[in-house]
Structure 1
Amino acid sequence: MQQKGPIRIIEWEDLDKKKFYSLGVFMTLTTRATVYPASLIRTRLQVQKGKALYSGTFDAFCKILRSEGVWGLYRGFMINTFTLISGQAYITTYELVRKYVSQYTPSNTVKSLVAGGAASLVAQTITVPIDVVSQQLMMQGQGEHLTRFKVKPKMMLAATKRKPTFGQTRDITVQIFAADGFRGFYRGYVASLLTYIPNSALWWPFYHFYAEQLSLLAPSACPHLILQALAGPMAAATASTITNPMDVVRARVQVIYALNCLDSAGQI
């Protein structure tokens, strides 16, 4: 365990691996289940032309809930849960690369920068194919006319009965591979790397920086965990501000082009 001023930096060898992985999966799954409807609505809003389907976020939520039910807000969620693997791969890569880089430099900033970038590379390699399939499933229902990939009628019938099934996932996966081959599952991969590698590489150094500064400002006024909790959003805001332009490009490439929603004039 490294002590940097008032901040204790927990290294890989200090972790209880059993608790680390089990609690990590549970927390990630809970978070994804909470934010998934918002992600689905965002995808449909990004893909629609003007206000063809929905006038805004609240309108989309009400219409999906009314016409497709609660399951309509969770289309593609089952396959999306496989991104839990990428989450565990991310943090494992981060900790192992930190340990490796520490052999060459004691600088926490350098270790965080290199490890954060490497972790994001591994995570995005796993995540992008899953996202491509789940985004296609998100577009089924009211948004199915916006995408060339559609589930078979019998699968749609199962969905209306609100029975979760991997049949839709298999159907979409086969169609993507038939149309675009293996490359079809990596639409937007380069754009994702150019977005998330810098974002992750910047987040960790800024996180440690803000945590240290907050501890120096209020060394005894706040518990250690609260200061670290505050440092997380601050680091995320800083890193996202820097990488946001590329994130806009990534969203356009991964969502629009992966869903093939360009009209004949090439306009969205």
Structure 2
Amino acid sequence: MEASNSRMQTFGQTEINWDKLDKTKFYVVGAGIFTGVTVALYPVSVVKTRLQVASKDTAERSAFSVIRGILKTDGIPGLYRGFGTVITGAIPARVIFLTALETTKVAAFSMVEPFKFSEPTQAAIANGIAGMTASLFAQAVFVPIDVISQKLMVQGYSGHAKYNGGLDVARKVLKSYGIRGLYRGFGLSVMTYSPSSAVWWASYGSSQRVIWRFLGQGTDLKEVAPSLSTIVAVQAAGGIIAGATASCITTPLDTIKTRLQVMGHEKRPSTRQVIKNLIADDGCKGFYRGLGPRFFSMSAWGTSMILAYEYLKRLCVKDD
């Protein structure tokens, strides 16, 4: 019992609960921090999306060739197509996600505690439930933004239509298919992002506990609290592990979803047809188009976001 309490004290020193945060500061400062991270990593999403929608005859079949093509045609701005739309929608989506994540996590830990699972297992279950729930709430805002931004990312590429900005995309989609057009691929988005979020947060929560145990934290009642640099290193390692795990599991669904969302409405391919085309072009490995950039994207995004998120929570702790 004492060892268990010691472990909880250690994790209490490295994790900041929702009730300890100044919510106003959290949202205001968080908007700025996450905008900065998005600016830095957005080009990876553009490259990943282009690889996933490339046709069989497209010359640009690797990440480097896609980057060269974008820079040759549009320069640096080409790597930020759709960015304005994404950043406009990402802030409310992020607020919804983080609020749902933190509040659900508290409830989920209380729910699994009576089962007396090991600390890593408890963390995996609670974080997984919280990650999936938060993603479900956020998709209502994020899917329309995803549809618009991805169309902008691939405009003029491999036969895709061109647009005059995000509003033009939204207007044409609404004119053709109404509000349903902005939620194209919603089911697959939920099927992709919710499990991905669950896997990511479950892996992150449990891997941290495993790493802390490996470092000998939580095993000695008289141990010194870990340094800030050690905490950051453990959190970064957890983010990398989580990103790698989630990307490998969910890339096939993400590839199908992306193709459904960016295909011209006149073609209106079904999910089954998208799957058939992928297999016809590349066999089963077609489902893993863009795995490299997505692996890097999820690991880089995940690690950057979690470090920014944990830093944000440290900044926004209420004064006692």
Same fold by TM-score, threshold 0.5 exceeded? yes
SS in structure 2 at match of 1:49? coil
* Among 62, 69, 72, the residue aligned to 2:68: 62
Aligned pair 1:132/2:139, yes or no?
A: no
In the TM superposition, what whole-angstrom CA distance separates every residue of 1:104-156 from its partner, at most 9, and x where no partner exists?
4435444323221110101122111001111122233x428423xx33xxx4x
Q: CA deviation at 1:211?
A: 0.9
Give the aligned residue type for 2:140. Answer: T
Q: How does 1:1-268 map to 2 (within 5 A)?
A: 4=8, 6-8=10-12, 9-52=15-58, 54-81=60-87, 82-101=89-108, 104-106=111-113, 108-140=123-155, 142-143=156-157, 145-147=159-161, 150-151=162-163, 155=164, 168-218=165-215, 219=217, 223-256=230-263, 260=267, 267=277
SS in structure 1 at match of 2:56? coil
Q: Counterpart in 1 of 2:295?
A: none
Q: Distance in 2 between matches of 1:202 and 1:25?
A: 25
Residue identity (%): 32
SS in structure 2 at match of 1:39? helix
Q: CA deviation at 1:3?
A: 6.1
Counting matched residue pairs gives 247
Q: Counterpart in 2 of 1:164?
A: none
Q: Distance in 2 between matches of 1:258 and 1:225?
A: 46
The answer to which structure, 1 or 2, has the higher relative contact order (CA under 8 A, 6+ apart) is 2
Q: Distance in 1 between matches of 2:23 and 2:9?
A: 26
Q: CA deviation at 1:259?
A: 9.3
Q: Distance in 2 between matches of 1:97 and 1:192?
A: 21
- Please say if residues 174 and 181 of structure 2, whose CA atoms lie closer than 8 Å, have aligned partners that are also in contact: yes
Q: Distance in 2 between matches of 1:57 and 1:238?
A: 21
TM-score (norm 1): 0.78
Change (3 A) 1:56 1:259: farther
SS in structure 1 at match of 2:172? helix
Change (3 A) 1:259 1:206: farther
- Please say if residues 187 and 257 of structure 1, whose CA atoms lie closer than 8 Å, have aligned partners that are also in contact: no
SS in structure 2 at match of 1:223? helix
After alignment, is 248-257 or 124-133 more displaced?
248-257
Unpaired runs of 5+ residues, structure 1, are 156-167
Change (3 A) 1:96 1:114: same
After alignment, is 106-115 or 193-202 more displaced?
106-115
Change (3 A) 1:237 1:258: farther
Give the aligned residue type for 1:115. Answer: A
